[in-house]
């Protein structure tokens, strides 16, 4: 099913979690709120403005100042902590499917590396385990995540999470260069799956050029580029660079990112599909994959059966994670109901269009990392 050598990046870090229970909800509702003044949130009032909005419209990810991180950290001292980051989530999905991915760790503090699965880590031209690749002086970055579940009586209209990140790796473009060197060489890597540094501040968007320098070579592997919401200016810059240099076969995104970056007329499924069909032509790609809570689809030049299998496996693995873990719950996913989206499999303007409904889990145990888990799984299958 899969080739041997996968690499996933760009980031691995700590996530810490706060459940939006009655006490937290009361705090959100009663505390003053202020519309954010910049891309980096600096005050509790600004953070609560975005969190209150997330309970109605769905969660996003925001950069925060070190000062705001310290305030949130002091308010919520007892938080569950787990490994996170786009590179980690993608790598974990492949690892739990029995594969052996190379995973990017720009910062390698002892606590983080000791807790990591037995991934492959690039280290000075060699491959090490996480425990062998520790750098004691590296900082630990923590993303504070508020998780909430739909409860109309309480005014929570969606199930999701809101992420507040004080993270110089993501905002300034600190990369794992040992990883990039090995992952960009097809002698070592068959498929490279990149979750972009979507929180890269506009002043640092040129750091994307460093990634392009590694990928713009005749020996590069097949590459999937997963977009994200954060700094729109930086993501659009990366889209142009990846396209101009022909540095990827495949792009992925959620429905909101499809609407924003591919400029769909609306969030209606038909408009999203039309935007993806146009986008795959404009950006010179082999495929674009779009996912949401209700559906997943791809527009592709690749084999239609492989695309369907990739979407199905991506949905299965992400849903298994909502049940608590991937490996132990893959079979249980089959018993869950599906959304009411009608499947599609046909050719449109020379591209294969595949659309499937997602699985429905009304009581998810895990809410964070689902998009990256889906992205890593489906890209590995589609590009293998």
Q: What pLDDT shows up at residue 264?
A: 98
Average pLDDT over residues 266-293: 98
Pair (341, 198) in one structural domain: yes
Percentage of the chain lying above the pLDDT 90 cut: 97
Residue 2 has pLDDT above 70, yes or no: no
255 and 323 part of one domain: yes
Query: Tokens for 297?
Result: 């689809």
Total domains, the chain: 2
186 and 222, same domain (yes or no) = yes
Same domain, 57 and 104: no
**pLDDT recorded at residue 199:** 85
One domain, residues 93 and 206: yes
CATH number at residue 74: 3.30.1110.20
**Degrees to nearest 5, angle at CA 127 with 125 and 133:** 95
Across the range 25-30, mean pLDDT stands at 96
Q: Is the pLDDT of residue 322 over 70?
A: yes
- What CATH code is carried by the domain that includes residue 310? 3.40.1190.20
Would residue 92 count as lying in a domain? yes
pLDDT of residue 34: 97
Query: What pLDDT, on the 0 to 100 scale, is given for residue 86?
Result: 96
pLDDT (mean) for 87-99: 97
Alpha-carbon distances, residue 242 vs 135, 202, 224 (angstroms): 31, 17, 11
- Please provide residue 191's backbone torsions phi and psi, each rounded to the nearest 5 degrees: -135, 125
Output the 3-class SS for the chain: CCCCCEEEECCCEEEEEEECCHHHHHHHHHCCCCCCCCCEECCHHHHHHHHHHHHHHCCCEEEECHHHHHHHHHHCCCCEEEEECHHHHHHHHHHHCCCCCEECCCCCCHHHHHHCCCCEEEECCEEECHHHCCCCCCCCCEEEEEEECCEHHHCECCCEEEEEEECHHHHHCCCCHHHHHHHCCCCCCCEEEEECCCCCCHHHHHHHHHHHHHHCCCCCCEEEEECCCCCHHHHHHHHHHHHHCCCCCEEEEEHHHHHHHCCCCCCCHHHHHHHHHHHHHHCCCCEEEEECCCEEEEEECCCHHHHHHHHHHHHHHHHHHHCCCCCCCHHHHCCCCECCCCCEEEEECCEEEEEEECECCCCCCCCCCHHHHHHHHHHHHHCC
Enter the tokens of residue 126: 């060699």
Q: What is the pLDDT of residue 1?
A: 53
* Helix axes 44-57 and 66-75, enclosed angle (nearest 10): 70
Question: Quick check: is 69 in a domain?
Answer: yes
Task: Please report, rounded to a whole number, the percentage of residues in the chain having pLDDT higher than 70.
Answer: 99
Q: Are residues 125 and 25 in the same domain?
A: no
The predicted pLDDT at position 340 comes to: 97
Residues 67 and 107 occupy one common structural domain? no
Considering the domain architecture, whether residues 152 and 193 belong to the same structural domain is answered as no
Q: Is there a domain that residue 1 lies in?
A: no
Q: How far is CA 284 from CA 199, 324, 382, in A?
A: 25, 38, 17
Whether 43 and 61 map to the same domain: the answer is: yes
Residue 64 lies in a domain: yes
Q: What is the pLDDT of residue 4?
A: 81
Instruction: State how far the Cα of 368 lies from the Cα of 73, in Å rounded to an integer.
Output: 19
Q: Are residues 40 and 189 in the same domain?
A: no
- The pTM (predicted TM-score) of the whole model is 0.95
Residue that is last in its domain, among 166, 183, 213: 166
Q: Among 7-11, 37-41, 250-254, which is the least confidently predicted range? A: 37-41
Q: What is the pLDDT of residues 32-91, one digit of tens each?
A: 999 999 999 999 999 999 999 999 999 999 999 999 999 999 999 999 999 999 999 999
Q: Residues 63, 207: one domain?
A: no
Tell me the per-residue pLDDT of 134-150, one tens digit each, with 9 for 90 and over: 999 999 999 999 999 99
**Does any domain span residue 215?**
yes
Give the model confidence (pLDDT) of 213-249 as tens digits.
999 999 999 999 999 988 899 999 999 999 999 999 9
Q: State the greatest distance between any 2 C-alpha atoms of the chain, in Å, as a whole number.
A: 57
Residue 295 pLDDT class (50, 70, 90 cuts)? very high
* pLDDT reported for residue 193: 98
Say whether both 56 and 113 belong to one domain.
no
Provide the domain limits for residue 34: 15-82+139-166
Give the tokens for residue 344: 């599609």
The answer to the question of residue 75 being in a domain is yes
pLDDT at 95 over 70: yes
Q: Using N-to-C axis directions, what is the helix angle for 370-382 and 86-96, rounded to 10°? A: 60
């Amino acid at each position: 099913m899969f080739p041997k050598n996968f690499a996933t990046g760009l980031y691995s870090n700590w996530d810490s979690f706060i459940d939006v229970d009655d006490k937290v909800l009361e705090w959100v509702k009663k505390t003053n709120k202020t519309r954010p003044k910049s891309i980096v949130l600096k005050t509790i009032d600004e953070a609560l403005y975005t969190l209150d909005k997330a309970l109605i419209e769905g969660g996003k990810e925001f950069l925060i100042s070190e000062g705001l991180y310290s305030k949130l950290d002091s308010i919520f001292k007892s938080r569950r902590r787990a490994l996170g980051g786009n590179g980690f989530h993608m790598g974990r999905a492949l690892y739990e499917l029995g594969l052996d991915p190379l995973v990017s760790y720009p910062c390698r503090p002892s606590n983080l590396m000791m807790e990591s699965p037995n991934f492959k880590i690039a280290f000075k031209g060699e491959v090490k385990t996480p425990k062998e690749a520790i750098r004691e002086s590296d900082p630990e970055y923590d993303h504070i995540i508020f998780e909430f579940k739909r409860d109309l009586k309480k005014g929570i209209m969606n199930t999701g999470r809101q992420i507040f990140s004080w993270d110089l790796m993501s905002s300034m473009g600190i990369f794992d260069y040992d990883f990039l060197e090995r992952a960009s060489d097809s002698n070592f890597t068959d498929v490279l799956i990149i979750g972009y540094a979507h929180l890269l501040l506009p002043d640092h968007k040129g750091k994307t050029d460093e990634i392009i320098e590694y990928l713009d070579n005749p020996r590069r592997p097949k590459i999937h580029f997963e977009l994200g919401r954060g700094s729109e200016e930086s993501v659009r810059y990366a889209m142009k660079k990846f396209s101009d240099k022909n540095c990827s076969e495949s792009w992925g995104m959620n429905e909101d990112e499809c609407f924003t970056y591919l400029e769909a007329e609306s969030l209606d499924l038909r408009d999203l599909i039309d935007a993806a069909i146009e986008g795959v032509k404009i950006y010179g790609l082999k495929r674009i994959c779009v996912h949401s809570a209700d559906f997943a689809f791809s527009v592709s030049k690749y084999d239609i059966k492989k695309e369907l299998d990739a979407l199905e496996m991506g949905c299965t693995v992400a849903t298994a994670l909502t049940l608590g873990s991937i490996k132990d719950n893959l079979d249980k996913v089959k018993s869950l109901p599906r959304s009411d989206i009608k499947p599609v499999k046909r050719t449109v303007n020379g591209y294969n269009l595949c659309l499937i409904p997602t699985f429905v889990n009304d009581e998810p145990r895990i809410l964070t990392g689902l998009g990256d888990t889906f992205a890593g799984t489906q890209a590995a299958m589609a590009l293998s």
